[in-house]
A and B are shown apart, each in its own frame.
Chain A
Amino acid sequence: MSNTMEKRLQKELMKLVSEPPAGVTFDSESADSKLTLWKVKVVGAKDTLYDGESFILQFKFTPKYPFESPQVIFIGPNIPVHPHIYSNGHICLSILTDDWSPALSVQAVCLSIVSMLSSCKKKVRPPDNVVYVSTCSKNPKKTNWYYHDDSQS
Chain B
Amino acid sequence: MDASTEAENLDQKIMDQMELIRKEIEESVPLLSHKEDIASLAKEYPPDDAIYQGKIRSLYSSYRWIRRTRRDGNCFYRAFGISLMEMLKQNPDEYHRVYKVIEESKDRLIELGYQAFIIEDFHQTVLTLLKNVRKDDCTNDELVEWFNDRDLSNYFVVYFRLLTSAHLKTNAEFFENFIDGYQSVKDFCSYEVEPIGKESDHIHAIALTGFLNTAIEIVYLNHTDDDLSKHRFPEHSAPQFTLLYRPGHYDVLYK
Is the C-beta of A77 less than 8 angstroms from some C-beta in chain B? no
Please determine whether A99 and B190 come into contact, CB atoms closer than 8 angstroms.
Answer: yes
A67 and B187 contact, Cβ closer than 8 Å, known pairs A1-B151, A136-B8, A143-B11: no
Please determine whether B8 and A101 come into contact, CB atoms closer than 8 angstroms.
Answer: no
Count A-side interface residues using an 8 Å CB cutoff.
29
- Number of A-B residue pairs at CB separation under 8 A: 64
Please determine whether B151 and A4 come into contact, CB atoms closer than 8 angstroms.
Answer: yes
The interface residues of chain B lying within 8 Å CB-to-CB of A94 are 191
Count B-side interface residues using an 8 Å CB cutoff.
27
Give the contacting residue for B121; candidates A8, A95, A137; CB below 8 A. A8
Please determine whether B119 and A103 come into contact, CB atoms closer than 8 angstroms.
Answer: yes
* Proximity bits, A90-133, B CB within 8 Å = 1, else 0: 00001100111111110110000000000000000000000100
A144 and B15 contact, Cβ closer than 8 Å, known pairs A103-B114, A105-B118: yes
Instruction: Name 27 interchain pairs, CB-CB below 8 A, sorted by A.
Output: A1-B151, A67-B158, A94-B191, A99-B191, A101-B194, A102-B154, A102-B196, A103-B114, A103-B118, A103-B119, A103-B122, A103-B158, A105-B118, A107-B115, A108-B115, A131-B4, A134-B1, A135-B4, A135-B5, A136-B8, A137-B12, A142-B11, A143-B11, A144-B14, A144-B15, A152-B187, A152-B191
Seen from chain B, the residues whose Cβ lies within 8 Å of a Cβ on chain A are 1, 4-5, 7-8, 11-12, 14-15, 114-115, 117-119, 121-122, 151, 154, 158, 161-162, 187, 190-191, 194-196
